[in-house]
Amino acid sequence: MKLNGNFQKLEQNYLFVTVAKRVAAYTAAHPDNHIIRMGIGDVTLPLAPVVIEAMHRATEEMSKKETFRGYSPDSNGYPFLREAVAGYYRSLGVELSAEEVFIGDGAKSDVGNIVDLFDVDNTVLVPDPVYPVYVDTNILSGRKLIYADGTEENGFLPLPDDAIHADIVYLCSPNNPTGAVYDREQLQQWVDYALAHHAILLFDAAYESFVTGAGLPRSIFEIPGAEQCAIEFCSLSKTAGFTGMRCGYTVIRKELTVDGVSVSALWERRQGCKFNGVSYVTQRAAEAVFTPAGQQQIRETLAYYQANARTMAQALREMGIWFTGGENSPYLWMKCPGGMGSWAYFDYLLEQAEIVGTPGEGFGKNGAGYFRLTAFGDAAQTKEAMDRLRFLGK
Ligand code: PLP
């Protein structure tokens, strides 16, 4: 018997585990601490009232024989939710059918599971720095990875290089960890690259609801040609506070085929084989997010986080610290002051200001010397953290 040897190729310590250990050690040594956590990207505000009401109604249905629901007839989601998501895309100017929307338990699962569809010999291009799941899931399935460098020079928005061939390309915009957002023209370059190279673009739109900039795309399907080469992953985690609820969606257009094989048909087959769908109650809750009242209520919550991001951006700007993000994203990606390394700055901030952030190095080699702060915290604490940062100086 042999285990999957690829597990040995993974980084031994997951980034957030290392961070948590260092914070625990600091807390044990300083029991009276007032740590402000701006590290992990979890939301902190409760679900919208319409979501709670929808869950109550759905729970009532589950309590009666006449309305009880067991296994979903379709593991890809109830039609009411697939229709609601398609309607949301329509509001972005993207026409797609409900059958092109696949409901899942969040973007992490779908982004991770999509690799089941692809041959192990494909070359996979990921940006660096990057959300670690893209890298780890491909290492586990034994694929070759190449990297597109995100740097201060390109604003952490690497563009395609036609001389380098890839079969699968991961993009994340607005980006985790850098908060940088591709514009329409830049995304068109990636779509054109994918079409020319017969590659598939895996577009992670988990933070699309933070885009406010005029003309900036929220979906890859706003870009002509993307329907033939892209798969989009999105989630209600950050959009509507569903990190503990678990609901997301993946969009695969009918036009996406490889050698005459429908990619959405393969995904249906994959999900049918390994997934039994998201709970009925959660799907009713998700449906409520897409109602007019739901959209208004989640906008209020998003505005709270966006105000935090503005507070943080203003502090960094005043201090003359270079950063990306914060404007169309809950993440701010700052250059560590004084040429400090990411882990050195992590320790410095923890010890001198009791602020926890995430060392950029944990997201790839180009993250060395950078640091990620998140805007998902409490508003008063965010202000307090920025005052502590100003006090520390550059
Ligand atoms: N994609 C990106 C870029 C993320 O940052 C995250 C979560 O932080 C996810 C996907 C996973 O989200 P979900 O909660 O939907 O699994």
Domains of the chain and any CATH numbers: 5-46+300-393 (3.90.1150.10), 49-293 (3.40.640.10)
Q: What pLDDT, on the 0 to 100 scale, is given for residue 213?
A: 82
What amino acid is encoded at 306 in this protein?
Q
Report how far ligand 1's centroid is from the alpha carbon of 39 (Å).
Answer: 14
Report how far ligand 1's centroid is from the alpha carbon of 338 (Å).
Answer: 31
How high is the mean pLDDT of the chain? 96
Probe target for ligand 1 pocket from 103, 131, 232, with the most ligand atoms within 8 Å of CB: 131
pLDDT tops 70 at residue 13 = no
Dihedral pair phi/psi, residue 265, rounded to 5°: -65, -40
pLDDT tops 90 at residue 277 = yes
pLDDT tops 90 at residue 40 = no
Report how far ligand 1's centroid is from the alpha carbon of 108 (Å).
Answer: 5
Cα–Cα nearest to 362, from 39, 35, 33, 3: 39
Nearest-CA residue for atom 11 of ligand 1: 108
What is the distance between the alpha carbons of residues 281 and 82, in angstroms, rounded to a whole number?
Answer: 15
Q: What pLDDT, on the 0 to 100 scale, is given for residue 361?
A: 92
Q: What pLDDT, on the 0 to 100 scale, is given for residue 11?
A: 77
What tokens appear for 351 in the block? 């010890």
Q: What pLDDT, on the 0 to 100 scale, is given for residue 41?
A: 85
What is the distance between the alpha carbons of residues 167 and 242, in angstroms, rounded to a whole number?
Answer: 32
pLDDT tops 80 at residue 394 = no
pLDDT, mean of residues 200-208 = 98
Q: Is residue 113 lining ligand 1, measured as CB closer than 6 Å? A: no
Q: What pLDDT, on the 0 to 100 scale, is given for residue 12?
A: 65
What tokens appear for 221 in the block? 């399907």
**Which atom of ligand 1 is least distant from the CA of 109?**
16
What is the distance between the alpha carbons of residues 41 and 105, in angstroms, rounded to a whole number?
Answer: 18
Probe target for ligand 1 pocket from 237, 245, 250, 282, with the most ligand atoms within 8 Å of CB: 237
Report how far ligand 1's centroid is from the alpha carbon of 169 (Å).
Answer: 17
Q: What pLDDT, on the 0 to 100 scale, is given for residue 283?
A: 98
pLDDT tops 90 at residue 15 = no
pLDDT tops 80 at residue 14 = no
pLDDT, mean of residues 223-228 = 98
List the single range of 7-11, 240-244, 306-310, 322-326 with lowest mean pLDDT: 7-11
The verdict on pTM exceeding 0.95 is: yes
Instruction: Count Cβ atoms below 10 Å from residue 75 Cβ, excluding itself.
Output: 18
Q: Is residue 108 lining ligand 1, measured as CB closer than 6 Å? A: yes
For residue range 110-138, list pLDDT tens digits in order.
999 999 999 999 999 999 999 999 999 99
